[in-house]
Amino acid sequence: QVQLVESGGGLVQAGGSLKLSCAASGSIFSINVMGWYRQAPGKQRELVATVTRGGSTSYADSVKDRFTISRDNAKNTVYLQMNSLKPEDTAVYYCNTQIRDYRGKLWTYWGQGTQVTVSS
Which is higher by pLDDT, 36 or 27? 36
Using pLDDT thresholds of 50, 70 and 90, give the confidence band for residue 78. very high
Instruction: Please name the residues in contact with 40: beta carbons below 8 A apart, sequence gap of 6 or more.
Output: 88, 90, 91, 92
Q: Is the pLDDT of residue 56 over 90?
A: yes
Instruction: Please name the residues in contact with 60: beta carbons below 8 A apart, sequence gap of 6 or more.
Output: 46, 47, 48, 49
Q: What is the pLDDT of residue 1?
A: 87
Q: Is the pLDDT of residue 5 over 90?
A: yes
Q: Is the pLDDT of residue 88 over 90?
A: yes
Q: What whole-number distance in Å separates Cα of residue 38 and Cα of residue 63?
A: 12
Tell me: the pLDDT tens digits for 57-77? 999 999 999 999 999 999 999
